[in-house]
Amino acid sequence: MRMPFTPLSGRIITVNPNPALDKTLVVDRFVKRGVVRVKEVYQYPSGKGINVSRAIARLGGSSIATGFLGGPIGMWIEESLKAEGIECDFVFVKSCTRTSTTVRCDEEGIEVHIVEPGEDIESDEVVELLRKVECLASANDIVVLSGSLPPGVPSDFYARCIDGVQAKGAIALLDASKEALIKALCSKPFLIKPNEEELAETLGKPCQSEQQIFDAIKMFMSEGISCVIISQGERGAIGGCEDGIWRAIPPRVEVVNTIGSGDAMLGGIAYALWRGLEFDEVLRWGVAAGTANVLVDGPCYFETSMAIEIYKAVKLERIL
């Protein structure tokens, strides 16, 4: 695969339009009505782009995290990220950063995610972040755009980011859904990473068979998207570029946590691209990082050694 940038020479920038304080409540039992007593509480700075930055750091890389933050939660997130060694350059807004809550009952195998949409972002704040993203990006950079858009942010936000950064010689990696993904496709990001559900939603039709997935990958590439990776959860991922289509199959592992696995995969992909690896190895690192994430509590807090061991066990199959 021909890289449109010089490996190891640029930076990785993650764009976080909708960060969150991610709180996990562990309970002994879960009931539909009545009192549920909490046994343990964990909280982390989160949101898809933030998780990507953490995954990159866990793999030995570095990134700059930008996006919207607001209120006491926003200040706590920035301080926590800096304590993790993640460089920050956020736009602080008038609204308060949201909280996402997970209720987990291990004994009953229950995991419920309660996701707040976020508060309204004002139009001048949207413009400020668009300008910041474009100013941060330069030739050879990798810009990761991921996550939902909070209220007030137009659905063409990612499309405008892609236009701005790729005009400066950076490449854009996109992990979005619904209208934000559909509009961004017209701007031809370098790479997209929908899951199977998001793929079907984007195409407006079921996409369940492997042949349907292969056809979708080839269609996106024919429209100017260089790399397409379809994540498949515990089954790994199928990805394609101009050199061909591969399947990456992870080893079987005991699942502790599922939050952030897609973000860990994108972090592995971004890190491998930054290193200038061939596409099949990019796919392999993505699946390794995503699998390592399920072994530990919290989004993308896996150890580097875990990811390396899983990377060695990931099976690659060339399909086309």
**Residue 6 covered by a domain:** no
Residue 86 lies in a domain: yes
| DSSP string covering 85-107 | T-EE-PEE-SSPPEEEEEEEETT
Within-domain flag for 257: yes
- What does the pLDDT read at residue 62? 97
**Domain-embedded: residue 57:** yes
CB 18 within 8 A of CB 149: yes
Tell me whether residue 26 is exposed, middle or buried, using C-beta atoms within 10 angstroms of its C-beta: 0 to 12, 13 to 18, 19 or more: middle
What range does the domain containing 298 cover?
12-32+40-318
Q: How far is C-alpha 49 from the chain's CA centre?
A: 6
Q: What is the pLDDT of residues 76-107, one digit of tens each?
A: 999 999 999 999 999 999 999 999 999 988 88
Q: Give domain status of residue 194, yes or no.
A: yes
**Residues in the chain with pLDDT values less than 50:** none
Query: What's the number of domains the chain is made of?
Result: 1
> What confidence score (pLDDT) does residue 207 get?
85
The answer to whether residue 255 sits within a structural domain is yes
Whole-angstrom distance, CA of residue 101 vs CA of residue 87: 25
Is position 160 within any domain?
yes
Query: Would 201 be classed as within a structural domain?
Result: yes
Helix, strand, coil shares, percent, the chain, to 5? 40, 25, 40
**CATH assignment at residue 223:** 3.40.1190.20
